[in-house]
């Protein structure tokens, strides 16, 4: 149990650092076609254990989102997306609940849930996070086309990144 907490904590720390120190600087694309941004951070929130209290998860999302915003210089945007994602997370769990139910103190990883389940789970979660992120950044639906383009391209790249992470590290918790 302690080991699980330690692993979660370390993951938060490392992914946050990777996100702000490396991924933030990567701007795929050229000139006006600057539609890509890599998100790894939402994975931390997605991998929180099932039995984590809802309010605790939301608060954790808020705090870690704010920390991310400190580096991104976008006060509130990442925090808002994280809070949204942590709030919706239990709902996604309900949607995707397998016949046997969940092992309550486990985390939703590939190893515990299998490929298909994890891909749909991560896709929904990442989609929500990325769409809300670009919506809040543009802050007006006047830019709907740009929001959608950025979201789609960033989603594809970030999702590939997450799958690589999951397959390479094979986290248990």
Partner 1 sequence: MQNLLQLFARYGSFIVFVLLEVICLYLIVNYNKQQREIFLNSSNILSGWATEKTDQIARFWNLSQISDSLAMDNARLRTLLDKATFENLPTTDTIIDTTYTQEYMYTPARVVGNSIILWDNHLTINKGSKDGIRRGMGLITEKGVVGIVSNVTEDFAQCVSILNGKVRVSATHKKSGQFGTLLWRGEDPRKITLKDVPKYAEIEKGDSIVTNRFSSIFPDGISVGTIDTFWVERGTNFYNIELNLTEDISKIRYVYVVHYLLKNQQQEAEGAAIDE
46 binds partner 1 (CB under 8 A): no
What is the closest distance, in whole angstroms, from the C-beta atom of residue 124 to partner 1 in the complex? 17
CB 79 within 8 A of CB 71: no
**Closest CB to partner 1 among residues 22, 70:** 70
Q: Which 3 state secondary structure label does DSSP give 30?
A: strand
Residue 129's Cβ-count burial label (10 Å; 0-12, 13-18, 19+) is: buried
Beta strands (DSSP E) in 34-91 are none
Q: How many residues are given for the chain?
A: 173
**Closest CB to partner 1 among residues 49, 171:** 49
What is the closest distance, in whole angstroms, from the C-beta atom of residue 158 to partner 1 in the complex? 21
How far CA 132 is from CA of 23, 127, 169, in Å, comes to 19, 8, 28
What is the closest distance, in whole angstroms, from the C-beta atom of residue 75 to partner 1 in the complex? 4
From candidates 48, 83, 92, 128, binder to partner 1 by CB under 8 A: 83
From candidates 139, 144, 167, 170, binder to partner 1 by CB under 8 A: 139
What is the closest distance, in whole angstroms, from the C-beta atom of residue 90 to partner 1 in the complex? 8
From candidates 10, 59, 156, 164, binder to partner 1 by CB under 8 A: 59
Q: Work out the angle at residue 164's Cα, subtended by the Cα atoms of residues 83 and 52, and round it to the nearest 5 degrees.
A: 35
79 binds partner 1 (CB under 8 A): yes
Report how far residue 116's alpha carbon sits from residue 132's, in angstroms, rounded to the nearest whole number.
Answer: 24
CB 13 within 8 A of CB 63: no
- According to CB under 8 A, which residues from 140 to 169 bind partner 1? 140
Q: Binding residues for partner 1, per CB under 8 A?
A: 54-55, 58-59, 62, 65, 69, 74-77, 79-80, 83-84, 87, 90, 136-137, 139-140
């Amino acid at each position: 149990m302690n080991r699980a907490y330690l692993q979660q904590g370390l993951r938060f720390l490392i992914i946050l650092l990777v996100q702000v120190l490396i991924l933030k600087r990567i701007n795929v694309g050229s000139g006006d076609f600057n539609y890509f941004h890599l998100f790894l951070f939402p994975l931390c929130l997605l991998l929180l254990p099932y039995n984590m209290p809802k309010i605790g998860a939301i608060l954790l999302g808020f705090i870690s989102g704010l920390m991310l915003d400190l580096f991104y210089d976008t006060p509130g945007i990442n925090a808002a997306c994280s809070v949204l994602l942590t709030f919706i997370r239990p709902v996604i769990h309900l949607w995707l609940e397998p016949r046997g139910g969940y092992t309550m103190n486990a985390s939703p990883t590939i190893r515990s849930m299998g490929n298909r389940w994890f891909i749909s789970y991560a896709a929904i979660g990442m989609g929500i996070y990325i769409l809300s992120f670009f919506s809040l950044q543009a802050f007006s639906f006047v830019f709907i086309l740009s929001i959608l383009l950025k979201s789609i391209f960033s989603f594809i790249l970030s999702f590939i990144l997450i799958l690589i992470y999951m397959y390479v590290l094979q986290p248990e918790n």
